[in-house]
Structure 1
Amino acid sequence: MFKFFNKLIGDSNATALRAMQPLADEINELEPEYEKLGDDELKDITTELRSRYQDGERLDDLLPEAFAVVREAAKRAIGMRHFDVQLLGGIVLHQGKIAEMRTGEGKTLVATLPTYLNAITGEGAHVITVNDYLAKRDAGWMGAVHHALGLTVGCLQNDSSWVFNPDAPLAENGAERVSEADDTGETAPPVRLPEDNFQPATKREAYACDITYGTNNEFGFDYLRDNMVDEAERRVQRGRSYAIVDEVDNILIDEARTPLIISGPAREQGQEYRKFAQLAKKLIPDVHFEIEEKRKTIVLSEEGIVAIERELKVENLYGSENDVLSHFAENAIRAEHIYGRDR
């Protein structure tokens, strides 16, 4: 029955893809023109597209040229050309939809198209993978395409951060990747792998790149940490404008069941409790503080605040740097003057 209706009204996915075909045709028409351009001329297109976007043109209007220039850059930088099915996949991703692609259809290459288009806004684009290995592999591999077009690429790892740089010195193990000696007795230089094309960077620098690769957990924890800082300057992320999520069903459904929790070891606070318990005994009700019996809270008077600051040798008890001290002081006073054993 369902097959009959599909034949009658057509498959919705096929209909949507047919509607996108004219865009793919526009991209294909630009290919002969872009093939004639030099490397610097290709890079100049990025500057032009950015300028046009800032002047008010929509990304949708810039899509054919952006996709065409990425296709040409990929052919030159990594020897890979986007096929029509990959162009359609890139259009789907740019539109914020889910694209299901079979193994071998080149998801990693597809992602370069909408990532580049959305990165020219200057607001940053994120590529989210399921593990550190894929994040660094894809950033090192596809970073060559974006680098050829003048974009910067960052990569987040669990314990480090990197910025794409094809001229970065080889890793220490690079010397081990040397080809056999040829007929002249000379050995070839070490083989350069995609993961060699990075230089160490801070997280803030990685996020400042036009495109940043990383895992869902890394992006999530950085967001949580940014919301815990005292000063805006200490935040590492600069916003969340556009992201491509690899294996979206796994990340947004399966792994979403596991919460991201930031925790740390508890401090030994026995000494603080004893110190503040002694302090609370020195304070006098109705002089240093007032008691609200119904709510079982205390309100420090100006004289009480001054007395505590003098005892603790701090300038401002309620300054952000003294949050813990004010918390201990108020709880100690409540314990001493409001609560009692067996009552």
Structure 2
Amino acid sequence: MTVHVVVLAGGAGTRLWPLSRAHRPKFLLDPGTGQPPLANALARAVQLADPEHVRIVTGRAHAADVRAVAAPFGVTRVLVEPLARDTAAAVAFGVASVDDPGAIVVSMPADQLVASGAQTWRDVLGEAVRAAAGGALVCVGVVPDRPATAYGYAHAPAGTGDGARPVAAFHEKPDAATAASYLAAGGFYWNTAIMAFRAATFAGLVRDHAPSLVPVLSGATTWDDLPRVAVEPAVVEPAAADGRVLLVPARLRWNDIGSWTDFPGASGGVVAVDADGCRVLSGDRRYALLGVRDLLVVDAGDVVLVADRARDQDLRRLVGEVAARWPDLL
């Protein structure tokens, strides 16, 4: 059984503005680990498939940087999207490059950090690949250790242990009370957007639920009329409603770096007096804090973000205002 991997290297990463920009999106940004998340993704990809069976879907503006990151892993297949149309089209574009309908495809974002926890990456994905061989679309869901409000959840209550189980529903990012209820109830998992499926299975789900994407699977060269839609609402959620989606629970160390709260970088040079709960990320500049609480300060050189740490999920609203006034800062 041949395994192929599609790594999705797209998106603007506005939730990590001002360090993440159009020319340096989240998957190319070093989050303090010494390498970009794309390198982490490729290191995991080549554990599952030969490098010639790994391809990266990205935009034209980032293709050169993506190739540079991919070269040390022996990955040379970089698929350049004609236009950015979100993850549904990106996954379909990657699947279209797999010439074996019976092959297993693992689709994974390029902007996450994943490491072994109670389980290893290879063990979790091995279970997902085996489940996908039976014809299901299989999601990887991380077993939550806290009532996180920054992640979407998958509800897969049936079964015990680590085996694949049916997904009953997907839920968007919850409020704090709802997230706490998920944790207490059990059977709810953080949706990682990592999936495994037969190439033919995904093509069939596209025909059933997202027919506007069929031209991508058949090698269409124009994307102007394609909808801009994520793969979850376009394909995965309606497939789950049909009983065709399974979930493999994962006990991994997983971070989608979806906000400054999740950013692993260390604070910069700070002297603080009566300043609690503040986080400063800077380059060479030094900061002195007095009598402030729960501030987030991110110094990108040409602009400094100062925010309430509790509001980091609202950053896209601010970026919209910045775009209107200072488009050069995006």
Query: TM-score, with normalisation over the residues of structure 2?
Result: 0.25
Structure holding more helix per residue: 1
Instruction: State the structure with more CA Rg.
Output: 1
Structure holding more strand per residue: 2
